Structure 1
Amino acid sequence: MRRALGTLLLIMLGLYGAACLALFLLQRSLIYYPPATAAYPAPSTSVLEVDGAAVKVSERPLAGERALIYLGGNAEDVTASLPLLDQAYPERALYLLHYRGYTGSSGSPSEKALVADALALFDRVAREHKDIVVLGRSLGTGVAVQLASQRPVSRLVLITPFVSLQDLAARQFPYFPVRWLLRDRYASNQYAPRVTAPTLILAARHDEIIPAQSAELLLSRFPKGVATMRVLEGVGHNSISDSADYIPALQWAR
């Protein structure tokens, strides 16, 4: 009996180890969901040549000092946000980054690559525009906070943000050591203290993906007086942009 129990325990440990290995190897396919096609025709597009990839940027060009960089969610084709951004920011040039491996961009997505590409886009945009707002949504908030911690962003808007990806993963996979397995951590809580740009956190009251306390905890990590939070009623994580208050809220950074 003891030998049988020992054998069973070894089998269970083997299966658990195999599951951990699969989670480690496949984790980026669980984080990034590139859309198949563009959702909306952009007025203009350009290609950002970066290390190891050619990254597409959808644009609504506009002369002047004011611009906005948009960083989307993990399953989003960013052009889907063009109509709303066009309404919210009629006086800003718009630059929407298509992540590596997403529609029109080569390469493979990773935290290091996405942050590097966002920094490169900011540097290119800054050659023509001095006043740059950065807007991140969901996964894009993890990129946006890091960008704002390293560049002179004029204002930062974070839509349905999280304190860190490893915190979310630990909630979703409570029986696995995800804090050890995770390669892309998007630890916004570590970068928020370095942000000096006025910041708006826009949360959804019924967010079914990111717990409310995650956004509240992230808010507490910003320097005093830098960030404020607004919660939109009657909407969830993916439906927040359907709120009648969504565009007025975004215009805080107009």
Structure 2
Amino acid sequence: MSLRVARLRRVLAGAVLGLGLAYGITVGGLYAAQRSLVFPAPAGFAELPPGYDRITFDSAGGLALAAAWRPPASGKPTVLFFHGNGDSWAGGARAMQALADTGYGVMLPEYRGYGTNPGQPGEQEFYRDGHAALDWLGAQGIRADRVVLVGNSIGSGTATQLAAERRVAALILVSPFASLPDLVAEKFPWLPGRWLVRDRFDNAAKLGRVSAPVLVLHGTADTMIPAAHARRLARAQPRARLVLVPDADHDLAYLPRAQQAEAEWLAQVVR
């Protein structure tokens, strides 16, 4: 009996060791490959949206990055829009259609490493590029306090960072997360997500430092980023207005009702 028990213990120990090794390899592989998973950059040329001009702006590292641009009508503010991780300026133009139709200027900077842009995407890189886009607008005579920052999904990270560091007209977050590690930990509870993720995009920690008016829009049927993240962000910034859109999913930014909510709110807070 003792011999059988000893053999069983060896088998179990070997199984546990094998599972632990497999788990470690999986975690290590995900850690190494996370940037390609977080930033699935569409490659190649993206057609310029109708009504926009292609411009370039200089960013950190000597990179010249492309953006789509349409100037504002006289007296109108300008929107600086940051799209989701799998999108492009084409999606940004769709998401900003209602505001563009009312005369808002719109700048759609493309991320480094996306489309034909040089460089590699990353959190700090996105922040530097966002500041560079704001500086480009400043060079066109558009002050930061006449700029509305809009961030969709992962774009909420760059928009929140800029709003915490620059005095802007307003901040709109669409389908945002509280932080990327929190989202990963929720989606993959078997992973050490809060340790694994290098790009943090900790919106909840920064939103309280934003002095501009804040609108948080989220769909109640969003399964990619649950609406609980929007509620947490609203708690982090008590002056923020939270709008939960019934039955809307993660494509909320492209829906007319979401764009109407943005336009109506901006009419109240930005003159």
Give the alignment's TM-score, normalised by structure 1.
Answer: 0.92
Aligned 8 A contact 1:40 1:82 in 2:
no
Distance 1:248 1:113 in 2: 32
Partner SS state of residue 19, structure 1: helix
Aligned 8 A contact 2:48 2:54 in 1:
no
Q: Does 1:95 pair with 2:107?
A: yes
Q: Does 1:61 pair with 2:71?
A: yes
Q: Does 1:38 pair with 2:46?
A: yes
Measure how far apart 1:104 and its partner are: 2.7
1:78-113 CA-to-partner distances (Å, cap 9, x unmatched) read 222314524324322211111111113111110010
Tell me what 1:232 maps to: 245
Give the percent of matched residue pairs that are identical in Structure 1 and Structure 2: 31
For 1:157-236, what aligned pairs fall within 5 Å after superposition? 157-222=172-237, 224-225=238-239, 227-236=240-249
Amino acid at match of 1:249: A
Aligned 8 A contact 1:204 1:235 in 2:
yes
Aligned 8 A contact 2:81 2:149 in 1:
yes
Distance 1:63 1:230 in 2: 28
Measure how far apart 1:69 and its partner are: 0.3
Tell me what 2:4 maps to: none
Distance 1:84 1:168 in 2: 23
Distance 2:201 2:170 in 1: 20
Amino acid at match of 1:60: R
Measure how far apart 1:214 and its partner are: 1.0
Q: Cα RMSD over matched residues?
A: 1.8
Aligned 8 A contact 2:84 2:155 in 1:
yes
Residue of 50, 60, 72 corresponding to 1:51: 60
Q: Does 1:115 pair with 2:123?
A: no
Distance 1:85 1:172 in 2: 29
Measure how far apart 1:243 and its partner are: 3.3
1:173-208 CA-to-partner distances (Å, cap 9, x unmatched) read 111111111100111011111101001001112111
Q: Compare 132-141 and 120-129 and name the one that shifted more.
A: 120-129
Measure how far apart 1:247 and its partner are: 2.2
Aligned 8 A contact 2:78 2:148 in 1:
yes
Partner SS state of residue 30, structure 2: helix
Matched pairs, number? 251
Q: Compare 6-15 and 104-113 and name the one that shifted more.
A: 6-15
Gaps of 5+ in 2: 1-6
Distance 2:201 2:94 in 1: 28
Partner SS state of residue 85, structure 2: coil
Q: Which has the higher helix share?
A: 2
Amino acid at match of 2:153: S
Aligned 8 A contact 1:157 1:253 in 2:
no
Amino acid at match of 2:40: Y
Aligned 8 A contact 1:204 1:236 in 2:
yes
Measure how far apart 1:39 and its partner are: 5.4
Larger radius of gyration: 2
Measure how far apart 1:6 and its partner are: 2.0
Runs of 4+ more than 3 Å apart: 62-65, 241-244
Distance 1:92 1:243 in 2: 18
Distance 2:205 2:119 in 1: 27
Distance 2:120 2:191 in 1: 25
Tell me what 2:261 maps to: 249
Quickly say closer, same or farther: Cα 1:135–1:204, change in 2 above 3 A: same
Aligned 8 A contact 1:73 1:138 in 2:
yes
Measure how far apart 1:155 and its partner are: 0.5
Distance 1:112 1:94 in 2: 23
1:95-141 CA-to-partner distances (Å, cap 9, x unmatched) read 11111111131111100100110011112212311211101100001
